[in-house]
Structure 1
Amino acid sequence: MTHDAHGHTHSYASKKEDLTRRLKRIEGQVRGVQRMIDEDRYCVDILVQIAAIKNAIHQVGLTILESHTRGCVADALSNHTDGEAKIDELMDVIRQFTKS
């Protein structure tokens, strides 16, 4: 795990390269949708691309959520340090993440 400027750990560090690659791909997809709109492409084609972007960003979120659970939360529980607070924080973020 790596630490940020505030001393927080980041359990997704081992997946950082993959996450960055995925986000760059998503960024390209968003630019592609912008081009499609500029080119007056068919609505359904644009909507299909938007659905693909939505799914891709959701997968990035799930990857980070899993890393957080297996790393940060599990670490807090096993070290008996702030475990309940980490679980509360996790549940809050799951609620936010799963809102439509």
Structure 2
Amino acid sequence: MIGDENTIAPVLNRLRRAHGQLAGVIAMIEAGRDCKDVVTQLAAVSRALDRAGFKIVATGLRECLDRQDDENTDPLTIDELEKLFLALA
């Protein structure tokens, strides 16, 4: 699980918003809307997904740091953290 209810709710809201925006982009393309409008809306979808991803990584990082005291859980390595951040780049 990634975070508690208070942490995950904003992420889910962003993902739901991106889902709606993406549906809007599809409808715009199907309706033959102007390229500028489609690209603007597509950029908004991309930003919403990026923000959700960064929030997930930040939350996961905080949880990993909090779990370092737990003897049953190995903390993430530097390479694993780097891969998480690069996946969003």
Q: TM-score, normalised by structure 2?
A: 0.81
- Give the aligned length: 87
Q: 1:44 aligns with which of 24, 36, 39?
A: 36
Aligned residues with identical type, % of pairs: 29
Counterparts in 2 of 1:66 and 1:46: CA distance versus 1, 3 Å: same
Aligned to 1:62: 54
Q: State whether structure 2 residue 85 is matched by structure 1 residue 77.
A: no
Aligned pair 1:10/2:2, yes or no? Answer: yes
Which sections of structure 1, spanning at least 5 residues, go unmatched?
1-8
1:35 maps to 2:27: yes
2:16 to 20, 24, 27: 24
Secondary structure in 1 aligned to 2:82?
A: helix
Kept in 1: contact 2:25–2:42 (CA 8 A): yes
- Asked whether the 8 Å contact 2:2–2:8 carries over to 1, the reply is no
User: Deviation of residue 31 (structure 1)?
Assistant: 0.8
Q: TM-score, normalised by structure 1?
A: 0.74
* Root-mean-square deviation over aligned CA pairs: 1.9
Runs of 5+ consecutive residues of structure 2 not aligned to the other structure:
none
Residues 16-46 of structure 1 show CA distances to partners (whole Å, capped at 9, x for unaligned) of 2222222111111011111111111100110
